[in-house]
Amino acid sequence: MKSFFIFTLCLLSLAACNTNLQHVAPEQLKIDSRRLQNADEIILQSIKNKEIPGAVLAVVHKDKIAYLKAYGNKQVYPDTIRMDVNTVFDMASVSKSMSTAISTMILVERGQLRFSDRVDRYIPGFQGNIRVKDLLTHSSGLPSYANVDSLQKWYHNPDADTLIMHISTCRRYFEPGERFLYSCLNYITLQRIIETVSGKNLRDFAKENIFDVLGMTNTDYNPTGETLNLVAPTERQADCSVLRGVVHDPLARVINGGISGNAGVFSNANDLAILATALLNDGEYRGRRILSPQGVKTMRTVPAGMQSIGRTPGWDNSSDYSSNQGDLLSPNTYGHTGYTGTSFVIDPDNDLAIILLTNRVHPDDVGEVVRLRALVANAVAAAINCL
């Protein structure tokens, strides 16, 4: 009897550790798999056109994965390796949403931060009347980027502190809230605020409060071990090596050591499906909560008076950067894209998430995915509720 009890406890423990979403046939969720094949054809044509070496597509609907498929190759140089559904990708700017923005919202929910707080409250000497909400919505007026070569020329061995000092005093292009200008510097600044308030670096805070809570076992900055073994390479370098497991973004890689508010997270389709499900379920996944329902609603809502900007606190809703949502999803759809070729789209009205992961910058930064993302989103949206 005692042995049976121990065996039962072990089974329960294993079940608790298995955090992956259930995979079901599309038809079980009233999704027409024949229509989903349109997405297959679109992706395969993109591979044939040499726009991307390969891809992984995941469709999440009603707390389940209705479609998960790999296409083409994850590596084509120096040799060829086939893509598989467990491949880990450099998420690039999707890091802004899935790590930095959610971390910011967690601190807001804890009463440690306000959207209306001025940045100089946390970063002394930070110039301008820029507030946390201006950083989140890319309406601060900060420049889009800072050139690494220029930073290295201007400063001796620039590091994260040097970069924040530069951002604190660099030129502002307009008054906060006046208009939209997508900027990596906004989220590097948010990183410093998160680290100042929490007393932890961004990687540790995000892992402790988001990734580990949800059981996202292959999601991390500066991946190691089994996660590193699963990573798809990105761009070929001057010495003919390729980046693999090292973030592509120059500011994140060279200045911030791989842990950066604008980029640096590596993840795969299964983990992203878990995160999408948590956001579709008001911040909770299998009894594990990262945000309150109010926090999720706030994150996906364009703030009052900022409809022309089209950005929510951390995500894209209707700005010029939202073409990855396609033409058929609901007006409340939100998401983000990454320079390396990643796309994460959530439609709360249809209880749907579309995750399209590519490494379009491999082996060289010439691939094109803007139109591909929209076409795939349309094909998936057209398959929902068709049975």
How high is the pLDDT of residue 301?
Answer: 98
Under CATH, which architecture does the 21-94+200-381 domain have? 3-Layer(aba) Sandwich (3.40)
How high is the pLDDT of residue 19?
Answer: 73
Task: Count Cβ atoms below 10 Å from residue 367 Cβ, excluding itself.
Answer: 20
The domains of the chain are located at 21-94+200-381
Measured at the alpha carbon of residue 250, what is the angle toward residues 157 and 323, in degrees to the nearest 5?
Answer: 155
Per-residue pLDDT tens for 110-130?
999 999 999 999 999 999 999
Task: Count Cβ atoms below 10 Å from residue 235 Cβ, excluding itself.
Answer: 18
Per-residue pLDDT tens for 318-327?
999 999 999 9
How high is the pLDDT of residue 14?
Answer: 39
The C-alpha atoms of residue 144 and residue 322 are separated, in whole angstroms, by 17
Q: Is the previous residue joined to 78 through a cis bond, with omega within 30 degrees of 0?
A: yes
Q: Is the previous residue joined to 363 through a cis bond, with omega within 30 degrees of 0?
A: yes
Interval 294-313 mean pLDDT: 96
**Tokens 């006046």 -> residue:** 178
The C-alpha atoms of residue 78 and residue 153 are separated, in whole angstroms, by 33
* pLDDT for 10 beyond 50: no
How high is the pLDDT of residue 15?
Answer: 39
Per-residue pLDDT tens for 272-286?
999 999 999 999 999
Measured at the alpha carbon of residue 95, what is the angle toward residues 315 and 348, in degrees to the nearest 5?
Answer: 35
Give the whole-number percent of the chain exceeding pLDDT 70: 95
Q: Could you tell me the pLDDT band of residue 3, with boundaries at 50, 70 and 90? A: very low
- CA 379 to chain CA centroid, Å, is 22
Nearest CA-CA partner of 321 in 92, 113, 52:
92
Quick one: angle between helices 370-381 and 33-48, nearest 10?
A: 170
Q: The pTM is what?
A: 0.95
* pLDDT for 315 beyond 70: yes
* pLDDT for 11 beyond 70: no
Q: Could you tell me the pLDDT band of residue 2, with boundaries at 50, 70 and 90? A: very low
